[in-house]
Chain A
């Protein structure tokens, strides 16, 4: 099909923009000192269509630096945080940024479509401006994301001297182009020639002559990364200016009444030390090298694995903004000069699960606390029931998945469900340790109080896989909570499973959960429960094992044949459980772990729980060890 093309003489740009202004708010590249930014445009002369690049990408108009998710006044009155947006045109977007938006679309409009992003995207027309001159730091030709935009625009412009060739990309674009003269063949040729010349002049390129992802995985431990770490200031500028970075933090803010407030998401960065911080100030990515690599790998390969979209569009902003001139092109070139020996690698592929909801995925449903049961000094089991009967009746979940518990004005916390998926009670349990702001606030609540809950999210324990097999369940501390449903399910459907053994360890006897249920579990046919603690305080009676949970492996009867092992507990415990079993000849295919990372949004958007290419919240939290054991950064 021939492209539908027109021409816009530069002399008529003023009237073209004026015409747009009648229907749209217009934004375009404007000068800021010696640099450029996207900003409001009153008339065509405000715009600098000769700009090289802008400080922030046009992302700021869609995934805004701050976006209200909801407003609330206590629990009683919760409303979504949309602000009315009019029709807008983004004028003069370079192809790299057009592609950046296409990548962001995969994040925000894929599974659990984000209504805020969607509205801003729907209301905004994009007029692309193809590049006829390479910019200083760009390397878009490496990813085919420039100098020409193929898709993702309503109109695209190519400068051919005294006029622009205008290509139509959508029905909306066609309307905008109404009245323009059709392009002559020579105009189209001139446009193509200009773009080819530009491409020819682009000297900066990443080209590893093969799959970039595999190349990077092979060179994960290359000394170059340590050199870059010494330079990197960890300032996060690179991620702030990146057109495809999406990570954000969610924060509740209230006024002095402490009741009225809002929940807002704000840009965040994996380059920040505190990015992966959870309660008790545990930080999952404390090492700067790990963070630097997470960013680079995310841009150059993980994004592709996660969203099947280009993570790096080669806009060059991260280079232009870096005080230390850390440059992906330079880094890759240096690795290429002296690569590590090639080895076979398998890139991680996430499970495919697309969820489309009509409701706002950010909006929690009200749930009332029906019962509270004390487990230990700081752990309670709460039984919740949704207030809305329709929600209550349609709510189902799998063992091992989690919900986000919301306390308005304080925040949200991802907590796994500790009741059994096979018990149709209309209620569900969360067993929660009071450590952070949300969980401590929850601990102060009483029966009858209302919280917000959204979920369930993620993949749970492989109940189907386990059927017909023996099950070894290894839990540590609070890690028993997400496994309690499994125990109950096996109890309920005892004949569907083989030999069943529960190994449960805790730091001290008084830290053990669900102690009043042990007798019942022991009564399940063909089931054994082994308990162990690390330490028994003086004066406490303890008739069971002492030692870490792996010391129970010598006592258990479970053998690797026809058995599935499921484990949840502190990372360090799971690490030794897995290593020990592998040493005993178990296969990674039969080991399932439930990872704990900083899960924040639950819907594969905020990036907080990323572990290499893995989104723990949506790809997990339960993983078959074989699927993740080859992650470049390791698992534990």
Chain B
């Protein structure tokens, strides 16, 4: 079987998810042997035009330039993977969508010269094009990345399960941060796959992997207020953070 042609692209993001590709050191050389990386500006000087078998896209789309590129990328890639929370849901850049400032006000706050700046609200790439797979998380989980690559090599659909972080947290028998310490943990409505990383480190889940399937964010938002005494602004900040664009977390932000 010919090696799959792979490409990595970056939009508005921190490059951490691309870097993750190089962070699988123990299997990196094996992976590199099994795939043909055709485009990866961060790691290669020689980069090739499409078409590609799989394209990994990191970052949110925030400008007309990026949107044009994204549409071209979609055409060039048989399989398109949204890599990381920014590409999946808009990620942290999407906070600006709900900051209460207009786009012009935002631009004026950061940039002194506006002569050629064009940007619009930050969305995940599936706002504009069809996405085949999602690697969630800020940054992505290395295990899921390797699973996806293996699935591609085997020619099968990876079955990622997006049930709650709570489930993984229970497997680790962590003391519940919400119930025991009164911390506003979002694990119950956030998609698992991280191995309940933050709660296991005594840190409440911030929802970086986006909503769990069929989650009930509104109910959790009510508990934040009623049980933990969070303010309405606190609740909005919680749900309009990594995946504030999603309808599920929007329900949480709008519930109180």
Task: Verify that A and B bind, or say they do not.
Answer: yes
Task: Establish whether residues B30 and A237, one from each chain, have CB atoms under 8 Å apart when the complex forms.
Answer: no
CA distance A271 to B213 in the complex (A): 11
Option from B31, B155, B164, B220 in Cβ contact (under 8 Å) with A256? B31
Task: Establish whether residues A235 and B187, one from each chain, have CB atoms under 8 Å apart when the complex forms.
Answer: yes
CA distance A240 to B155 in the complex (A): 32
Given contacts A233-B219, A234-B212, A234-B216, contact A267 B171 (CB under 8 A): yes
Option from A65, A233, A323, A437 in Cβ contact (under 8 Å) with B215? A233
Task: Establish whether residues B188 and A233, one from each chain, have CB atoms under 8 Å apart when the complex forms.
Answer: yes
Q: Report the nearest A residue to B179, measured CB to CB.
A: A323
Given contacts A233-B215, A256-B150, A437-B156, contact A32 B164 (CB under 8 A): no
Indicate whether B180 reaches chain A with its CB closer than 8 angstroms.
yes
- Within 8 Å CB of B166, what residues of A? 233, 235-237, 240, 323
Q: Report the nearest B residue to A288, measured CB to CB.
A: B214
Q: Report the nearest B residue to A257, measured CB to CB.
A: B30
Interface-lining segment among A33-41, A214-222, A552-560, A627-635: A33-41
- Within 8 Å CB of B34, what residues of A? 256
CA distance A56 to B188 in the complex (A): 17
Indicate whether B104 reaches chain A with its CB closer than 8 angstroms.
no
Indicate whether B145 reaches chain A with its CB closer than 8 angstroms.
no
Task: Establish whether residues B163 and A272, one from each chain, have CB atoms under 8 Å apart when the complex forms.
Answer: yes
CA distance A233 to B252 in the complex (A): 12
Option from B27, B153, B175, B188 in Cβ contact (under 8 Å) with A323? B188
CA distance A440 to B170 in the complex (A): 35
- Within 8 Å CB of B157, what residues of A? 436-437
Among residues 196 to 248 in chain A, which have CB atoms less than 8 Å away from a CB atom of chain B?
230-237, 240-241
CA distance A218 to B58 in the complex (A): 53
Given contacts A35-B180, A237-B188, contact A273 B163 (CB under 8 A): yes
A39 to chain B, nearest CB (A): 9
Q: Report the nearest A residue to B33, measured CB to CB.
A: A256
Can you list, as one digit per residue, whether each of A358-374 has a CB less than 8 Å from chain B (1) or not (0)?
00000000000000000
- Within 8 Å CB of A170, what residues of B? none
- Within 8 Å CB of B164, what residues of A? 233-237, 272
Indicate whether B246 reaches chain A with its CB closer than 8 angstroms.
no
- Within 8 Å CB of A32, what residues of B? 173, 175
Among residues 134 to 178 in chain B, which have CB atoms less than 8 Å away from a CB atom of chain A?
146, 150, 153-157, 159, 161-164, 166-167, 169-171, 173-176, 178
Q: Report the nearest A residue to B151, measured CB to CB.
A: A437
CA distance A288 to B220 in the complex (A): 15
B148 to chain A, nearest CB (A): 13
Option from B170, B215, B223 in Cβ contact (under 8 Å) with A241? B170
Can you list, as one digit per residue, whether each of B72-104 has a CB less than 8 Å from chain A (1) or not (0)?
000000000000000000000000000000000
B154 to chain A, nearest CB (A): 6
Indicate whether B189 reaches chain A with its CB closer than 8 angstroms.
yes
B188 to chain A, nearest CB (A): 4
Indicate whether A190 reaches chain B with its CB closer than 8 angstroms.
no
A247 to chain B, nearest CB (A): 12
CA distance A440 to B162 in the complex (A): 23
Task: Establish whether residues A233 and B216, one from each chain, have CB atoms under 8 Å apart when the complex forms.
Answer: yes
CA distance A320 to B169 in the complex (A): 15
Task: Establish whether residues B180 and A237, one from each chain, have CB atoms under 8 Å apart when the complex forms.
Answer: no
A428 to chain B, nearest CB (A): 25
Interface centre among B31, B155, B162 (most CB of A within 10 A): B155
CA distance A54 to B175 in the complex (A): 10
- Within 8 Å CB of A286, what residues of B? 214
- Within 8 Å CB of A235, what residues of B? 163-164, 166-167, 187-189, 212, 215
- Within 8 Å CB of A444, what residues of B? 155
Given contacts A272-B213, A273-B213, A321-B176, contact A236 B163 (CB under 8 A): yes
A to B contact number (C-beta, < 8 Å): 120
Given contacts A240-B171, A256-B30, A409-B154, contact A274 B163 (CB under 8 A): yes
CA distance A605 to B41 in the complex (A): 49
Indicate whether A258 reaches chain B with its CB closer than 8 angstroms.
yes
Indicate whether A269 reaches chain B with its CB closer than 8 angstroms.
yes
B67 to chain A, nearest CB (A): 28
A582 to chain B, nearest CB (A): 33
Indicate whether A83 reaches chain B with its CB closer than 8 angstroms.
no
A145 to chain B, nearest CB (A): 22
A267 to chain B, nearest CB (A): 7
Task: Establish whether residues A269 and B167, one from each chain, have CB atoms under 8 Å apart when the complex forms.
Answer: yes
Indicate whether A55 reaches chain B with its CB closer than 8 angstroms.
yes
Task: Establish whether residues B214 and A323, one from each chain, have CB atoms under 8 Å apart when the complex forms.
Answer: no
Indicate whether A13 reaches chain B with its CB closer than 8 angstroms.
no
- Within 8 Å CB of B188, what residues of A? 233, 235, 237, 323
Among residues 394 to 417 in chain A, which have CB atoms less than 8 Å away from a CB atom of chain B?
409-410
A315 to chain B, nearest CB (A): 14
- Within 8 Å CB of A240, what residues of B? 166-167, 170-171
Task: Establish whether residues B214 and A234, one from each chain, have CB atoms under 8 Å apart when the complex forms.
Answer: yes
CA distance A231 to B220 in the complex (A): 8
A279 to chain B, nearest CB (A): 9
- Within 8 Å CB of B163, what residues of A? 235-236, 269, 272-274
A503 to chain B, nearest CB (A): 35
Given contacts A37-B173, A272-B161, A441-B156, contact A324 B219 (CB under 8 A): yes
Q: Report the nearest B residue to A254, measured CB to CB.
A: B150
Task: Establish whether residues B27 and A256, one from each chain, have CB atoms under 8 Å apart when the complex forms.
Answer: yes
Q: Report the nearest B residue to A34, measured CB to CB.
A: B180
Task: Establish whether residues B162 and A236, one from each chain, have CB atoms under 8 Å apart when the complex forms.
Answer: no
Task: Establish whether residues B154 and A254, one from each chain, have CB atoms under 8 Å apart when the complex forms.
Answer: yes
Option from A34, A55, A237 in Cβ contact (under 8 Å) with B167? A237
- Within 8 Å CB of B176, what residues of A? 321, 323
B31 to chain A, nearest CB (A): 7
Option from B171, B215, B223 in Cβ contact (under 8 Å) with A324? B223
- Within 8 Å CB of B216, what residues of A? 230-234, 288
B25 to chain A, nearest CB (A): 14
Task: Establish whether residues A233 and B220, one from each chain, have CB atoms under 8 Å apart when the complex forms.
Answer: yes
CA distance A272 to B167 in the complex (A): 10
Interface centre among B27, B157, B173, B178 (most CB of A within 10 A): B173
Given contacts A410-B156, A437-B156, contact A237 B27 (CB under 8 A): no
- Within 8 Å CB of B220, what residues of A? 233, 323
Given contacts A233-B216, A273-B213, A324-B223, contact A258 B154 (CB under 8 A): yes
Task: Establish whether residues A410 and B179, one from each chain, have CB atoms under 8 Å apart when the complex forms.
Answer: no
Q: Report the nearest A residue to B216, measured CB to CB.
A: A233
- Within 8 Å CB of B30, what residues of A? 256
- Within 8 Å CB of B180, what residues of A? 33-35
- Within 8 Å CB of A258, what residues of B? 150, 153-154
Among residues 119 to 142 in chain B, which have CB atoms less than 8 Å away from a CB atom of chain A?
none
- Within 8 Å CB of A441, what residues of B? 155-156
Q: Report the nearest A residue to B175, measured CB to CB.
A: A33
Option from A35, A236, A324, A440 in Cβ contact (under 8 Å) with B175? A35
- Within 8 Å CB of A236, what residues of B? 163-164, 166-167
CA distance A272 to B214 in the complex (A): 8
Task: Establish whether residues B162 and A274, one from each chain, have CB atoms under 8 Å apart when the complex forms.
Answer: yes
Which residue numbers of B lie inside 8 Å of A, CB to CB?
27, 30-31, 34, 146, 150, 153-157, 159, 161-164, 166-167, 169-171, 173-176, 178-180, 187-189, 212-216, 219-220, 223
Besides A234-B216, A324-B223, A436-B157, 4 other A-B contacts (C-beta < 8 A): A258-B154, A321-B176, A409-B154, A441-B156
Which residue numbers of A lie inside 8 Å of B, CB to CB?
32-35, 37, 54-56, 65, 230-237, 240-241, 249, 251, 254, 256, 258, 267, 269, 272-274, 286, 288, 320-321, 323-324, 409-410, 436-437, 440-441, 444
Can you sample 29 A-B contacts with CB below 8 Å?
A: A32-B173, A34-B175, A34-B180, A35-B180, A37-B173, A55-B174, A56-B170, A65-B171, A230-B219, A231-B216, A231-B219, A233-B166, A234-B214, A234-B216, A235-B166, A235-B167, A237-B164, A254-B154, A256-B27, A256-B34, A256-B153, A258-B154, A273-B212, A273-B214, A288-B214, A321-B176, A323-B178, A323-B220, A441-B155
- Kindly list the 5 A-B residue pairs having the minimum CB-CB distance in the complex, ordered from nearest: A273-B213, A240-B170, A235-B164, A273-B214, A235-B166
